[in-house]
Structure 1
Amino acid sequence: MPVAGRTGSKRATGTAAIAAIPISGCSRSPSIGVLGAYFPDWLFCIVAGVVLTVVVYLILKRLRADHLLGPAAVVYPTLVTLLALVAWLTLFQH
């Protein structure tokens, strides 16, 4: 009987050790305090990506070069994603 107890104890210890590895990534929450509320970093990056995409759209429209791009349903969401990731890489490197 005591042998079975040790095996269960070793298994529980091993499981706890393995579970502790990914949990350690949650030690610091990447968030920004705005007026007492905390918002995640990625939310600001998405907003920055959308705003920068609108600026690019307006510049292309003013230059009358917007027809040179491919289908807008593909180009502009891709541009939002690209600019959001660039904003995240430049502003929130930890």
Structure 2
Amino acid sequence: MPHIMTWLLAAMLSGCSNAPSVYAFGSYFPSWLLCAFIGIIGAVLVRVVFVYLQLDDVLPLRLLVYLCVALIIAIVTSLSFFST
């Protein structure tokens, strides 16, 4: 029985490794923080484009739309640069 528990514990901990991090400003930052920042900046740029195209006024739930845009950009950034 202890042999099975050892294998089970090893299987559960096999995904644990060093967290992906980015070296910036003399310190290591987690990659999700960089991806969130890029997502927020991307959503702001999308909003500027929507305002220029006059699409911002017709959006039904602006906050939800821009939150989803930021999330999509952050996830795509994470999958593009930090997936293994």
In the superposition, the TM-score normalised over structure 1's length comes to 0.77
3-state DSSP class of the match of 2:28? strand
Q: Report how many residues are paired.
A: 84
1:26 is matched with 16
Letter paired with 1:72:
R
Distance 1:22 1:33 in 2: 29
Distance 1:27 1:72 in 2: 38
Spell out, residue by residue over 1:26-69, the C-alpha distance to the aligned partner (whole angstroms, 9 max, x if none).
Answer: 12321122244222211111110000000010111122221232
Identity of aligned pairs, percent? 31
- Asked if structure 1 preserves the Cα contact closer than 8 Å seen for 2:21 and 2:28, the reply is yes
Structure 1: which 5+ residue stretches go unaligned? 1-10
1:17 is matched with 7
Could you say which structure has the larger radius of gyration? 1
1:65 is matched with 55
- Asked if structure 1 preserves the Cα contact closer than 8 Å seen for 2:39 and 2:73, the reply is yes
- Give the number of the structure whose residues are more often helix, by fraction: 1
* Pairing 1:13-92 to 2, within 5 Å after superposition: 13-92=3-82
Shift in Å, 1:72: 1.1
Letter paired with 2:18:
R
> RMSD of the alignment, in Å?
1.5
In the superposition, the TM-score normalised over structure 2's length comes to 0.84
